[in-house]
A and B are shown apart, each in its own frame.
Chain A
Amino acid sequence: MNQLRKPPAYFKGLYEDSSFWSCCGLDGLSIVFDLPLDSIRSLTEEQKRAILHLLGYLASGEDCDLLARVVALQEVPAEERFHALVDLSFGLLPELGKDSST
Chain B
Amino acid sequence: MKHTSSTKSPRGIYLVGFSGSGKSTISKLIAKKLQWRACDLDELIVERAGLDIPTLFSREGEPGFRLRESEALHAASSHGPFVIATGGGTVVRSENRNLMARKGWIIFLEAQAEVLHARIQRQLENCDTKAIRPLLDAVYPLDQIRSLKHTRQPVYSLADWTIHTDRLTADQVADEVIRAVHLLEHSREPAVLQDMVGVPRRHSLNTDLPPPIVVAAGAWPYQVIVGWNNLSSLGQQVKRVLPHTHRAAILTDASTWQQVGSTVEQSLGTEGVEVHVRKIAAQESIKTLAEVNAIYEWLLEIHFHRDDALVVIGGGAIDDVGGFAASTYMRGVPLVKIPTSLEGMVDTSIGGKTALNHPRARNLIGTFYHPRLVWTDASLLFDEPKEQQRAAWAEVVKYAMLENSLLREEPVGSSLFSLVTENLGKLAALEKGTLLNIIARCVALKAQVVASDERDFGNIRILLNYGHTIGHALETVMKYTLPHGSAVSIGMAIEARISVRLGLAGSDVATRQNELLTRLGLPTRLPEVPVDLLLAHINNDKKVLADAPRWILPTTIGRATVSSSVTQTDLLSVIRQSLHHD
Shortest CB distance A56–B (Å): 6
Shortest CB distance B302–A (Å): 23
Q: Give 27 pairs: A residue, B residue, CB < 8 Å, sorted on A.
A: A10-B132, A12-B129, A12-B132, A13-B131, A13-B134, A14-B132, A14-B134, A15-B54, A17-B134, A22-B45, A22-B88, A22-B89, A23-B19, A24-B148, A26-B61, A27-B151, A31-B141, A31-B148, A32-B134, A34-B140, A37-B144, A37-B147, A37-B148, A37-B151, A38-B219, A41-B219, A42-B331
Does the CB pair B42–A22 fall under 8 Å?
Answer: yes
Report which A residues bind B (CB closer than 8 A). Answer: 1, 5, 7, 9-10, 12-28, 30-32, 34-38, 41-42, 45, 48-49, 52-53, 55-56
Q: Which residues of B contact A18 (CB under 8 A)?
A: 42, 46, 52-54
Shortest CB distance B555–A (Å): 32
Between B58, B69, B148, the greatest number of chain A beta carbons within 10 A of the residue's beta carbon is seen for B58
Chain A contact residues, majority secondary structure: helix
Q: Which residues of B contact A52 (CB under 8 A)?
A: 54, 57-58
Shortest CB distance A37–B (Å): 4
B130 CB-CB contact with A under 8 Å: yes
Q: Which residues of A contact B364 (CB under 8 A)?
A: none
Does the CB pair A49–B54 fall under 8 Å?
Answer: no
A101 to B53, CA, bound (A): 27
Does the CB pair A13–B129 fall under 8 Å?
Answer: yes
Report which B residues bind A (CB closer than 8 A). Answer: 18-19, 24, 41-42, 45-46, 52-54, 57-58, 61-63, 65-66, 69, 87-90, 127, 129-136, 138, 140-141, 144-145, 147-148, 151, 219, 331-332
**With A22-B88, A24-B89 given, is the CB distance from A45 to B61 under 8 Å?**
yes
Does the CB pair A5–B62 fall under 8 Å?
Answer: no
A3 to B399, CA, bound (A): 57
Q: Which residues of A contact B145 (CB under 8 A)?
A: 31
Q: Which residues of B contact A28 (CB under 8 A)?
A: 134, 148
Shortest CB distance A39–B (Å): 10
Shortest CB distance A62–B (Å): 16
Does the CB pair B57–A26 fall under 8 Å?
Answer: yes
Shortest CB distance A20–B (Å): 5
Q: Which residues of B contact A36 (CB under 8 A)?
A: 144, 147
